[in-house]
Amino acid sequence: MAVTNQLGIDPDKYKWGFHDPEKYVYKSRKGLDREIVEMISSMKNEPEWMRAYRLHSLEHFQQRPMPVWGANLAQIDFNDIYYYLKPTEKKERSWDEVPENIKNTFEKLGIPEAERKFLAGAGAQYESESVYHNLKEEWEKLGVIFLDTDSALREHPDIVREYFGTVVPPEDNKLAALNSAVWSGGSFVYVPAGVHVDIPLQAYFRINAQNMGQFERTLIICEPGSYVHYVEGCTAPIYTTDSLHSAVVEIIVKEGARCRYTTIQNWSTNTYNLVTKRAVAYRDATMEWIDGNLGSKITMKYPSVYMVEPGAKAEILSVAFAGRGQHQDPGGKVIHAAPHTQSVIVSKSIAKDGGRAGYRGLVKIYSGANGSKSAVRCDALILDDQSRSDTYPTMEIDEQDVSITHEATVSKVSDEQLFYLMSRGVKADEAMNMIVRGFVEPIVKELPLEYAVELNRLIALEMEGSVG
């Protein structure tokens, strides 16, 4: 006689203690539980350690309360989200369903047709094959690995296992735990000792459904003396009906290596963009985060650098633009845990049409990190009376022998500046654009040229109609 327990599970099915994840047939459904996580892992044919890691992360996610110290996240309904869709299941949206304003933006930015469809989720894949292919061969000759993280886990399981989760453990925060449980896609970069990758590695070349997922996981390892510049995203609006983007980026910069990580993202305005980005910098290593945040409903993102050996350096540059109904809460964290470490944080935020943009940052200097230096500068530009800027700089300094500077400015576009430009024949809206472009110029000039041009164009679009 079959005995059915309260949960309706037929114990006979399990009497051999048989557990074969292969047999799951993944059914897409909303919500998050053990079954979903197990299914994700089995769909991907992952090693046991990753499955266990995901489940452990899930437990942590479920126990941990929502962070309440930052932007208002109360409206996120974790049960109303698909955590994994098989690539073949991803619903293709027809071009007609893409909102008019998104189409217009593509048009104005001059995004090529093929890319438009992809970016709007109305085309399955886009790869600029030829360019990417040539580059890939060059990288491979140098021993550089540049793969999506799922492939990396299959093809280089030992390296992935050695570093995965060592910089951002699931216990770090609720969203990191969520990503650790359900991650999919993202980039894996491994640069061997002494190798300088001259051309920026651009996730843009590789955008595909996997790579631009909601819960991508990126891992970059720079062996001693190496250099790499990784560029993520593009300035075209990423149109998605998914409301939550929660990525984790982990970077290990070993002795004397340098890593620059550039992000320009422009999420559609319904998206919660809650990302954990962290790097560890060893002796004389340099980590640079350059982070441009446009779009989204709420962005909370504080790229951080742990300087754990003498001579490590950190630089964090960020730009945020908040328009109507948007809350940009970017910032940065630098942890000086060794002597003679240096950090620079520059944050520029712009708020308009009732948007909120600001800076939230931490400078922590441990006792014993003597001779360390930190300079923080955050500037906010407010374009009208409805908008606001908040600055939350935290300093925890446990060492005497250090040099620290902090400068913060909040300014409005001055009438004097507008008048000056207009007195030369420049129309009011273009004058406003010029001032805003000038405000972000110190960061834009750090971007690869094509990104700088696109970002400027995008800011001009965001500014449209803000005057008069």
Partner 1 sequence: MADLEIRDLTVQVEDKVILKGANLTLSKGEVHALMGPNGSGKSTLANVLMGNPFYQVVKGEVLYKGQDLLAMSPDERARRGLFIAFQYPVSIPGVTMSSFLRTAVSARRGYDKELMPVGEFQKLLKQKMDELKIEPAIVSRYVNEGFSGGEKKRAEILQMAMLEPEIAIMDETDSGLDIDSVKVVSDGVNRMLERAKGAMGILLITHYSRILHFIKPSYVHVMFDGRFVVSGGPDLAEELEQSGYEGIKAQFEVIAAEVQAEGAVRRAGKVFWVAH
Q: Which residues bind partner 1 (CB under 8 A)?
A: 414-417, 419-428, 430-431, 434-435, 437-442
Closest to partner 1 by CB, 300 or 436 = 436
Query: Closest approach of Cβ 428 to partner 1, in Å?
Result: 7
Query: Closest approach of Cβ 413 to partner 1, in Å?
Result: 10
CA–CA dist 296, 76 (Å, integer): 14
Query: Closest approach of Cβ 434 to partner 1, in Å?
Result: 5
Kindly give, in sequence order, each residue whose CB lies less than 8 Å from that of residue 447, ignoring residues fewer than 6 positions away. Answer: 262, 264, 290, 292, 455
CA–CA dist 52, 231 (Å, integer): 31
Query: Closest approach of Cβ 439 to partner 1, in Å?
Result: 6
Closest to partner 1 by CB, 219 or 294 = 294
Q: What's the token pair of residue 351?
A: 């708020």
Kindly give, in sequence order, each residue whose CB lies less than 8 Å from that of residue 83, ignoring residues fewer than 6 positions away. Answer: 31, 32, 36, 37, 40, 182, 215
Closest to partner 1 by CB, 98 or 294 = 294
Closest to partner 1 by CB, 56 or 437 = 437
CA–CA dist 171, 157 (Å, integer): 23
Query: Closest approach of Cβ 445 to partner 1, in Å?
Result: 9
Query: Closest approach of Cβ 461 to partner 1, in Å?
Result: 15
Query: Closest approach of Cβ 449 to partner 1, in Å?
Result: 15
DSSP string computed for 17-64? ----GGGPPP---BS--HHHHHHHHHHTT--HHHHHHHHHHHHHHHHS
Closest to partner 1 by CB, 207 or 440 = 440
Q: What's the token pair of residue 316?
A: 């964090």
Closest to partner 1 by CB, 410 or 434 = 434
Query: Closest approach of Cβ 173 to partner 1, in Å?
Result: 35
C-beta atoms surrounding 188 within 10 Å: 24
Q: What's the token pair of residue 342?
A: 């240096």
Q: Sort residue 384 into left (φ over 0), alpha (ψ -120 to 50) or beta.
A: beta
Closest to partner 1 by CB, 248 or 320 = 320
Kindly give, in sequence order, each residue whose CB lies less than 8 Å from that of residue 14, ignoring residues fewer than 6 positions away. Answer: none
Question: Hey, which residues does 287 pair with through a beta bridge?
Answer: 259, 314
Closest to partner 1 by CB, 435 or 463 = 435
Closest to partner 1 by CB, 175 or 383 = 383
CB-count burial class (<10 Å; 0-12, 13-18, 19+) for 375? middle
Query: Closest approach of Cβ 115 to partner 1, in Å?
Result: 24
CA–CA dist 18, 200 (Å, integer): 48
